[in-house]
């Protein structure tokens, strides 16, 4: 979805909204659900690693620069989850 809107909107999505979503997930897990965080931390790390790998492979497969940057943002989200 990062390659479809205009460049300014894509930059806003990549720079703010995805990072805020991960920040909110981490805050909720730490502050409100500490027991569940311990149970789900391994699963979240595995999903983050899969996201990093799929984002990197998607970026390598693309030739359009906007799509490459979109996959790079996806890979960054995975590294934040790890």
Q: What is the tens place of the pLDDT at every residue in 39-64?
A: 888 998 999 999 999 999 999 999 98
Q: Please state, in angstroms and rounded to a whole number, the distance separating the CA atoms of residues 70 and 55.
A: 9
- What pTM, to 2 d.p., does this model score? 0.74
Query: pLDDT of 6-33, one tens digit each?
Result: 877 777 777 777 788 888 888 888 888 8
Distance CA(7)–CA(65), nearest Å, equals 12
Q: Tell me the CA distances in angstroms from 71 to 17, 24, 26, 29, 47, one per residue in order.
A: 15, 22, 22, 26, 16
């Amino acid at each position: 979805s990062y390659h479809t809107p205009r460049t300014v909107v894509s930059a806003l999505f990549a720079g703010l909204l995805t990072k805020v979503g991960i920040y909110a997930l981490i805050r909720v897990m730490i502050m409100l659900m500490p027991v569940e965080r311990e149970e789900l931390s391994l699963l979240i790390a595995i999903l983050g690693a899969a996201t990093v790998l799929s984002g990197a492979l998607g970026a390598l497969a693309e030739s359009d620069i906007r799509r490459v940057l979109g996959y790079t943002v996806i890979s960054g989200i995975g590294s934040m989850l790890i």
